[in-house]
Amino acid sequence: MPPQRDIGLYIHVPLCRQRCHFCAFYLEIATPARIEAFLSALARELTLYHQQNVLAGRALRSIYFGGGTPTVIPSLQLAALLDRIRNTYSVTPDVEVTIEAHPSTVTRQDLRVLAEAGFNRISLGAESMAPQDFIPIGRPGTVSDTEQAVQDARTAGFSNINLDLMYGLPGQSLASWTATLHSLLALDPTHISCYALTIEDHTKLAQDIAKGLVPAPDETLQIEMETATESVLASAGFTRYEISNYARPGYACRHNLLYWTDGDYLGLGPSAQSYIAGSRFGNIANLDAYAGQLQNDHLPVADRRMLTHEEQRRDALIFGLRLLKGVPNNLAIEDAGQRDILAQLTERGLIVNEHDRITLTPLGCRFADSVASELF
């Protein structure tokens, strides 16, 4: 019998205290009533999947609470939810359990409750360590909230701490970005995610840029920031293992690796996406509609598709190329045409095709999506 593929569980909490100016995700503003509506529907979804034996006895190797801002839910309710998951599904003894948190939404006591409940990895949205960067992007909270949350998380027992950053923020210079990186390193995280700011349509930030109130991102500067990031973090002992992710040895995010290595995951909550045994499916992106389906004992799936072999190969390539270790080259080469394209991409300095693997060059990392799409 072939070995069981790893599987993870993703819980999507589509609730935040307020909407940041750059954010285009589906979400609602958290109120006690919306939190309650979400939690009771989610409990029903957990039970329905269990009754339908979707995981077929497989044990979860990772559980990830993302959002939104999961920590707008009171910590005791998050602990009860994790307990419910553990009582519903099998989990491996070394399961990685991550919670995303906005630094200003967690107290020392909350973090203690979460650590005691079994959350063993925390991902804090720092975004920047320069207070002036928060204003144009409408990010609530302060830099000292981040510093305090890291300290409190560590005291509570979290030894695996990720900090998220964004670069290319309006008004941010290369010098202030490198200062942010150094301030962040002083907090001694195990993992750092760095995302370039992108401007999404219909956001307040897009409107402010269109009105000339805020400068648009400067692509050349973003590239310089990306180069600086790799060098500063490498000097501090971090390995860039994915285009936007850096970790100390042994601290790559197990759950996110599932996405990049063609692994299986079940996503619960409004707008959550799943991929199990070649089937991709996604939930309705609306809390009321999601809850309504579950009240009638229907899974709240809006679209479902069994991928063909070709589509699975394409997705494994698109996601796998994001990893700095790349993908086996037999994922990309099935005929002479693809061999030619690979040769052209190599000549243009976008990929390296060696030792039966394809990896992106530093230049290729900047154009990862278009490199992958040229291959198909």
Positions in the binding site for ligand SF4 (CB under 6 A) = 16, 19-20, 23, 25, 27, 67-69, 102
Q: Which residue has the tokens 């991929």?
A: 275
Closest to ligand SF4 by CB, 134 or 376: 134
- Summarize the chain as % helix, strand, coil (round to 5): 45, 25, 35
Q: Residue 162: enclosing H or E segment and its boundaries?
A: strand 161-167
Least Å distance between CB 129 and ligand SF4? Answer: 17
Q: 177 and 129 in contact (C-beta within 8 Å)?
A: no
Closest to ligand SF4 by CB, 127 or 242: 127
**HSE-CB of 51 using CA atoms within 13 angstroms:** 9
Least Å distance between CB 198 and ligand SF4? Answer: 12
Closest to ligand SF4 by CB, 140 or 278: 140
Closest to ligand SF4 by CB, 133 or 264: 133
Closest to ligand SF4 by CB, 20 or 181: 20
Neighbours of 288 (CB within 10 A): 13
Closest to ligand SF4 by CB, 20 or 42: 20
Q: Which residue has the tokens 């897009």?
A: 206
Which of 191, 305, 280 shows the shortest CA–CA distance to 237?
191
Q: Which residue is nearest to ligand SF4 (CB)?
A: 23
Least Å distance between CB 17 and ligand SF4? Answer: 8
CA distance 127 to 165: 4
Least Å distance between CB 372 and ligand SF4? Answer: 26
Least Å distance between CB 85 and ligand SF4? Answer: 22
Least Å distance between CB 16 and ligand SF4? Answer: 3
Residue 272: phi and psi, rounded to 5, are: -70, 145
Residue 120: phi and psi, rounded to 5, are: -125, 5
CA distance 205 to 216: 9
Closest to ligand SF4 by CB, 256 or 329: 256
Which of 15, 19, 25 shows the shortest CA–CA distance to 139?
19
Q: Residue 164: enclosing H or E segment and its boundaries?
A: strand 161-167
